[in-house]
C-alpha cells in the first residue's frame, strides 16, 4: 500500500521526478566513470595511451593488453600472466564459499530451532567474530595452519576463509531463520522428522534468498581478499589479488597501463558476474525477515 | 482405559514454577479443554504432552505408557498448531503425507490415506496447491488433515482457531466438534476463548498461574464455579460480583442489597442455606450471572424469582438481548433483558431476579461457599 502511495505522489509531481532521475543519472555516471576509463585504457596500445588523454576513446581497438595480462605479463620474476593465479583463486574461493555457507546455514538452524542453554550467548560471541580485524588473527592463524600441516596449501586458505566467514554466514542464516515460525520445526518433529531431516527437508528449501546473499557476500569477501592471500600463500599458489598487486607494482621498463587495467578488470570480473546473476535476489534476501509478516 | 494421564506434573524454568503439580485423567474418546488466560501454563502443558518441552517432575502417560522420556515422534500423537505450521515448500498433498513418508509408509497406503483425509475434510480440490495459495480456513483444514493422516492415539490442538476471523471460527468450531463425534478421537485442546471451551469440551480444565482451578463438565463449571476466577473467566458477559453481608430474613439466610434508596433481600438457594448460616453477619461476594436478571415481562414465574424495579444506567443492545447496567450496593451489575423490553437509561424498569443459581464466594480465599 505504501508503494502505491509513493508512486502516486511522485506522479503528481513531475518536477520532483525529473530531479530524482537527473540526480540518479549523475551519480550513475560518476560511479561508472572509473570503469569506463579502465575499459578504454585496456583497449588502447601503450603508444596511444601516452599520446591521448585519459578519456579519449581508442582510435584502434586492440586486445593485446588483455592477452598479455592473462598469459604473459610479469609479476615478480614469473612472466606467465594471471591465468594461473586466477585458477588458484577459483580453486579455493569456490570450496570456501560453499563450506562457509553450509556451516552458516547449519549454525543458524541450530541457534533458532534448537535453542539450548547459552545459545544466545554463543550467538553473541559469534557476532563478535564479525568485528575482529584480519590483522589480529594473522599470527595465531599462521601457527594453527602450521600445526595442522596446512601452511601454504589451498586447503589452508579455504580453512582460513571458512573460519573467518563463519561469523557472517551464521549471522545471515540465524536472522533469516528467526523469522520462520518455530512451530514448523515442532510440527516436523511430531511428524517424525529427525534433526537433519528437518534441516534438509524443511529449512533448506526455504533458504534460497539467504543462500544467495551469503554466496555473494562470501564470494566478494574471499575473492577480493588480499591480506590472507599474501600471508598464507606464496609463489605459484598466490591468489589473483596478490598477483595483480605484484603485476602492477613490477617496475621494469615502460609502465604498461593498458595491461594493468586489463588485469584489474580480469580480477574484478568474477564478482561482477556473481552480482549480475544473483543480484536481484540480494536485496530481497537481505530485507527478508527484517519485517515480520 | 485412560488415553492420557497427567500425574503431579511440574514445570520449572530455573527457580520459577510455571506448572505447579497438574493432575488430569483423560478418558478414551474424551474432548478435554485446557482454558485460561495467557501465561497460565496451558500451552506449556500441551507442549509437555507432545514432548516438545521437558517435564521437570511428575509423569505423563499416553495410552497407559509413560512417555516422559520418549521423543515426540514415538508418543503416538498429532498436533495442530496455532500458526498451522504448514511446510511452505510442500504442496497440500505432501504436507499431509510428510509424516507417513518419514515413517516409511508404503506409497500406495500414503495415497489412500491422503485421499481419505482429504475427503473427510473436503479439501480434495486443494491437494496440489501450495500453502501460500490457501485461505486461512483452508490452511486450518490442511493442518488438521496432517494430524488426521496418522490416526494417532491422541490429538493435541494448540489454539487452532485463534488466527481465524470471527465467522470462520464459529464454522470451524462446529466442524471440529463434528469431527470429534465422528472419529471418537481423544483430543486435548488448548484455548483462551471460554466460548470455545464451553461449546467443544466434554470436560474443561480451567487453569491459572500453573494450577488447574477447576476440572469438570462445561455446565458444572458454568453453574458451580470453584472460585471467583473461574466464575469471572467463564461466561460472557461475565458474572456480576457484589460485595454484601449475610443476614437472616424470615428464617432464610441471604443478602440484603441496596438499589438506589431501596433495599432488596436475596435469599440464598435452599442447598446453600446451611453453608451460609456460618457466614451470618460477615461479608461475602455474591455472584449472579447477567441472564439471571431479566425483564419482568419475559421472566418465568417461579418461587425463586423476585420482581423489582431498578434504575437503568446504561443500555447496550446486542441484537438477541439487550444488556442493561443497574447498580446494586454501589456495584455496576449487568442484566440481560429482552430487546423488546424497552429499557431507557435514567428510567426505572421492571426486572426479575432468578435467585435459584446464586453463588457466594469467600472474599479471602475466593473459593465458592457451599
Q: Does the structure show a pLDDT above 50 at A3?
A: no
Question: Which stretches within chain B are classed as H helix?
Answer: 42-50, 92-102, 107-121, 136-148, 166-183, 194-200, 218-223, 228-233, 273-277
**Chain A residue numbers touching B47 (CB-CB < 8 A):** 186
Q: Are B51 and B72 in contact (CB under 8 A)?
A: yes
**Arithmetic mean of pLDDT, B346-367:** 93
Q: Which of A182, A222, A218 is nearest to A202 (CA)?
A: A182
Distance from B109 to chain A by nearest Cα, in Å?
Answer: 17
B103 with A192: Cβ contact below 8 A: yes
pLDDT in tens, B79-92: 999 988 999 989 99
pLDDT in tens, B179-197: 999 889 999 999 999 999 9
Q: Residue A153 has what DSSP assignment?
A: S
- Candidate from B52, B89, B102 with C-beta closest to A186: B52
Q: Supply φ then ψ for residue A186, to 5 degrees.
A: -65, -45
Complex ipTM > 0.90: no
Respond yes or no on whether the N-terminal peptide bond of residue B237 is cis (omega within 30° of 0). Answer: yes
Cβ under 8 Å to B: A residues 195-234: 197, 201-202, 205-206
Contacts of A225 (CB under 8 A, 6+ apart): A161, A239, A241
Q: Which three cell numbers stand for residue A47?
A: 603508444
Q: Which of B44, B47, B52 to mutate to test the interface with A (most CBs of A within 10 A)?
A: B52
Report the residue count for chain A.
Answer: 293
Does the CA dihedral A248-A254-A258-A262 come out positive or negative?
negative
**Arithmetic mean of pLDDT, A253-264:** 86
**Chain A residue numbers touching B78 (CB-CB < 8 A):** 190
Q: Please tell me the distance from the alpha carbon of residue B143 to that of residue B126, in angstroms, as a whole number.
A: 13
Mean pLDDT score across all residues of chain B: 92
pLDDT of residue A293: 34
**Chain B residue numbers touching A188 (CB-CB < 8 A):** 87, 98
How many other C-beta atoms can be found within 10 angstroms of the C-beta atom of residue B119? 10
Q: Residue B18 has what DSSP assignment?
A: E
Task: Find, in chain A, the residue whose alpha carbon is nearest to that of B100.
Answer: A191
Distance from B367 to chain A by nearest Cα, in Å?
Answer: 38
Task: Find, in chain B, the residue whose alpha carbon is nearest to that of A116.
Answer: B53
Cβ under 8 Å to A: B residues 71-130: 71-73, 77-79, 81-83, 85, 87-89, 98-99, 102-103
Collapse the DSSP code of B58 into the 3-class scheme (helix H, G, I; strand E, B; otherwise coil) and give the result: strand
Q: Does the structure show a pLDDT above 70 at B247?
A: yes
Angle between helices A83-113 and A182-191 (to 10 degrees): 80
pLDDT of residue A11: 53
pLDDT in tens, B95-138: 999 999 999 999 999 999 999 999 989 999 999 999 989 988 89
A183 has a chain B CB within 8 A of its CB: yes
Q: Does the structure show a pLDDT above 50 at A5?
A: no
pLDDT in tens, B4-57: 999 999 999 989 999 999 999 999 999 999 999 998 999 999 999 999 999 999
**In chain B, what are the domains?**
2-225 (3.40.50.300), 240-361 (2.40.50.140)
Collapse the DSSP code of B122 into the 3-class scheme (helix H, G, I; strand E, B; otherwise coil) and give the result: coil
DSSP letters, B164-184, are S-HHHHHHHHHHHHHHHHHH-
Q: Please tell me the distance from the alpha carbon of residue B2 to that of residue A20, in angstroms, as a whole number.
A: 72
Choose between A286 and B271: higher pLDDT: B271
In Å, how far from its chain's centre is CA A263? 18
Between chain A and chain B, how many beta carbons pairs sit less than 8 Å apart? Answer: 56
DSSP letters, B322-337, are EEEEEEETTEEEEEEE
Q: Are A210 and A173 in contact (CB under 8 A)?
A: yes
Distance from A175 to chain B by nearest Cα, in Å?
Answer: 18
Mean pLDDT score across all residues of chain A: 86
Scanning the structure block, which residue is given the C-alpha cell 508404503?
B106
pLDDT in tens, B283-299: 999 999 999 999 988 77
**Chain A residue numbers touching B71 (CB-CB < 8 A):** 189
Distance from B102 to chain A by nearest Cα, in Å?
Answer: 6
A190 with B50: Cβ contact below 8 A: yes
Task: Find, in chain A, the residue whose alpha carbon is nearest to that of B70.
Answer: A190
Q: Does the structure show a pLDDT above 70 at B367?
A: yes
Q: Please tell me the distance from the alpha carbon of residue A15 to that of residue B119, in angstroms, as a whole number.
A: 60
Q: How confident is the model at residue A2 (pLDDT cuts 50, 70, 90)?
A: very low
pLDDT of residue A49: 84
Distance from A219 to chain B by nearest Cα, in Å?
Answer: 27
Distance from B37 to chain A by nearest Cα, in Å?
Answer: 21
How many other C-beta atoms can be found within 10 angstroms of the C-beta atom of residue B165? 9
Q: Please tell me the distance from the alpha carbon of residue A6 to that of residue A1, in angstroms, as a whole number.
A: 9
Q: Which of B236, B244, B239, B237 is nearest to B226 (CA)?
A: B239
B98 with A206: Cβ contact below 8 A: no
B98 with A181: Cβ contact below 8 A: no
pTM across the whole model: 0.82
Q: Are A242 and A229 in contact (CB under 8 A)?
A: yes
DSSP letters, B130-152, are -GGGS-HHHHHHHHHHHHHTT--
**Chain B residue numbers touching A181 (CB-CB < 8 A):** 83, 85
Q: Which of A191, A192, A201, A207 to mutate to test the interface with B (most CBs of B within 10 A)?
A: A191
**Domain residue spans in chain A?**
2-66, 83-287
Q: Please tell me the distance from the alpha carbon of residue B160 to that of residue B193, in angstroms, as a whole number.
A: 11
- Candidate from B73, B87, B89 with C-beta closest to A190: B73
Distinct helix (H) and strand (E) counts, chain B = 9, 21
- Candidate from B85, B99, B102 with C-beta closest to A183: B85
pLDDT in tens, A81-134: 888 899 999 999 999 999 999 999 999 999 998 888 888 899 999 888 888 888
**Arithmetic mean of pLDDT, A57-62:** 85
Q: Please tell me the distance from the alpha carbon of residue B234 to that of residue B218, in angstroms, as a whole number.
A: 9
Distance from B82 to chain A by nearest Cα, in Å?
Answer: 9
**Chain B residue numbers touching A206 (CB-CB < 8 A):** 88-89
Task: Find, in chain A, the residue whose alpha carbon is nearest to that of B157.
Answer: A187
Choose between A213 and B23: higher pLDDT: B23
Please give the CATH topology (third level) of the domain spanning A83-287.
MetI-like fold (1.10.3720)
Rounded to the nearest 5 degrees, what angle is found at the Cα of A158, between the Cα atoms of A155 and A161? 150
Question: Which stretches within A75-207 are classed as H helix?
Answer: 83-113, 119-128, 134-148, 154-177, 182-191, 195-197
Q: Which three cell numbers stand for residue A127?
A: 557476532
Q: Which three cell numbers stand for residue A140?
A: 595465531
User: Given phi > 0 = left and psi -120 to 50 = alpha, else beta, which region is B292?
Assistant: alpha
B52 has a chain A CB within 8 A of its CB: yes
**Chain B residue numbers touching A186 (CB-CB < 8 A):** 47, 50, 52, 72, 79, 81, 85
How many other C-beta atoms can be found within 10 angstroms of the C-beta atom of residue A219? 21
A187 with B81: Cβ contact below 8 A: yes
Collapse the DSSP code of A58 into the 3-class scheme (helix H, G, I; strand E, B; otherwise coil) and give the result: coil
pLDDT of residue B116: 93
Largest Cα separation within chain A, whole Å, is 76
Amino acid at each position: 500500500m505504501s508503494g502505491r502511495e509513493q508512486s502516486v505522489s511522485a506522479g503528481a509531481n513531475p518536477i520532483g521526478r525529473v530531479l530524482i532521475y537527473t540526480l540518479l543519472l549523475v551519480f550513475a555516471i560518476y560511479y561508472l566513470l572509473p570503469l569506463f576509463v579502465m575499459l578504454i585504457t585496456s583497449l588502447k596500445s601503450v603508444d596511444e595511451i601516452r599520446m591521448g588523454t585519459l578519456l579519449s576513446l581508442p582510435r584502434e581497438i586492440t586486445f593485446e593488453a588483455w592477452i598479455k595480462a592473462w598469459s604473459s605479463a610479469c609479476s615478480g620474476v614469473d612472466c606467465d600472466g594471471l591465468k594461473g593465479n586466477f585458477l588458484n583463486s577459483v580453486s579455493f574461493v569456490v570450496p570456501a564459499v560453499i563450506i562457509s555457507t553450509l556451516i552458516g546455514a547449519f549454525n543458524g538452524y541450530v541457534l533458532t530451532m534448537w535453542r539450548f542453554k547459552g545459545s544466545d550467548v554463543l550467538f553473541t560471541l559469534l557476532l563478535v567474530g564479525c568485528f575482529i580485524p584480519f590483522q589480529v588473527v594473522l599470527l595465531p592463524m599462521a601457527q594453527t595452519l602450521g600445526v595442522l600441516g596446512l601452511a601454504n596449501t589451498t586447503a589452508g586458505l579455504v580453512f582460513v576463509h571458512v573460519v573467518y566467514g563463519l561469523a557472517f554466514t551464521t549471522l545471515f542464516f540465524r536472522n533469516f531463520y528467526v523469522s520462520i515460525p518455530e512451530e514448523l520445526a515442532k510440527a516436523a518433529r511430531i511428524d517424525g522428522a529427525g534433526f537433519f531431516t528437518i534441516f534438509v527437508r524443511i529449512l533448506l528449501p526455504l533458504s534460497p534468498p539467504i543462500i544467495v546473499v551469503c554466496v555473494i557476500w562470501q564470494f566478494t569477501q574471499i575473492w577480493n581478499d588480499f591480506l590472507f592471500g599474501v600471508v598464507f600463500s606464496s609463489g605459484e599458489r598466490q591468489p589473483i589479488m596478490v598477483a595483480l598487486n605484484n603485476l602492477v607494482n613490477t617496475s621494469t621498463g615502460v609502465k604498461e597501463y593498458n595491461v594493468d587495467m586489463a588485469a584489474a578488470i580480469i580480477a574484478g570480473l568474477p564478482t561482477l558476474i556473481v552480482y549480475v546473476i544473483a543480484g536481484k535476489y540480494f536485496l530481497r534476501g537481505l530485507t527478508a525477515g527484517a519485517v515480520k509478516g | 482405559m485412560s488415553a492420557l494421564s497427567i500425574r503431579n506434573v511440574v514445570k520449572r524454568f530455573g527457580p520459577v514454577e510455571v506448572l505447579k503439580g497438574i493432575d488430569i485423567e483423560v478418558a478414551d474418546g474424551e474432548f478435554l479443554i485446557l482454558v485460561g488466560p495467557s501465561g497460565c501454563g496451558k500451552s506449556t502443558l500441551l507442549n509437555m504432552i507432545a514432548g516438545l518441552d521437558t517435564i521437570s517432575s511428575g509423569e505423563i502417560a499416553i495410552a497407559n505408557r509413560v512417555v516422559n522420556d520418549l521423543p515426540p515422534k514415538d508418543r503416538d500423537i498429532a498436533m495442530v498448531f496455532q500458526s498451522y505450521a504448514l511446510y511452505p515448500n510442500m504442496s497440500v498433498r505432501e504436507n499431509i503425507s510428510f509424516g507417513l513418508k518419514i515413517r516409511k509408509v508404503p506409497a500406495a497406503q500414503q495415497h489412500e490415506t491422503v485421499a481419505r483425509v482429504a475427503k473427510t475434510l473436503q479439501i480434495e480440490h486443494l491437494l496440489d496447491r501450495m500453502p501460500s495459495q490457501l485461505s486461512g480456513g483452508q490452511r486450518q483444514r490442511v493442518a488438521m488433515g496432517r494430524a488426521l493422516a496418522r490416526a494417532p492415539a491422541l490429538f493435541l490442538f494448540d489454539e487452532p482457531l485463534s488466527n481465524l476471523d470471527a465467522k470462520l471460527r464459529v464454522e470451524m468450531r462446529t466442524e471440529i466438534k463434528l469431527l470429534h463425534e465422528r472419529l471418537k478421537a481423544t483430543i486435548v485442546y488448548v484455548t483462551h476463548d471460554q466460548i470455545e471451551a464451553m461449546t467443544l469440551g466434554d470436560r474443561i480444565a480451567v487453569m491459572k498461574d500453573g494450577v488447574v482451578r477447576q476440572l469438570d463438565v462445561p455446565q458444572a463449571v458454568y453453574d458451580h464455579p470453584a472460585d471467583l476466577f473461574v466464575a469471572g473467566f467463564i461466561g460472557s458477559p461475565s458474572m456480576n460480583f457484589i460485595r454484601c453481608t449475610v443476614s437472616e430474613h424470615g428464617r432464610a439466610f441471604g443478602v440484603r442489597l441496596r438499589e438506589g434508596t431501596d433495599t432488596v433481600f436475596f435469599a440464598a438457594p435452599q442447598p446453600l442455606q446451611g453453608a451460609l448460616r456460618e457466614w451470618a453477619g460477615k461479608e461475602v461476594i455474591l455472584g449472579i450471572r447477567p441472564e439471571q436478571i431479566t425483564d419482568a415481562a419475559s421472566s418465568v414465574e417461579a418461587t425463586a424469582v423476585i420482581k423489582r424495579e431498578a434504575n437503568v444506567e446504561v443500555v447496550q443492545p446486542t441484537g438477541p438481548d439487550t444488556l442493561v447496567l443497574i447498580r446494586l450496593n454501589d456495584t455496576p451489575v449487568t442484566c440481560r433483558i429482552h430487546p423488546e423490553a424497552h429499557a431507557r437509561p435514567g428510567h426505572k424498569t421492571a426486572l426479575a431476579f432468578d435467585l435459584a443459581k446464586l453463588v457466594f464466594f469467600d472474599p479471602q480465599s475466593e473459593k465458592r461457599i457451599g
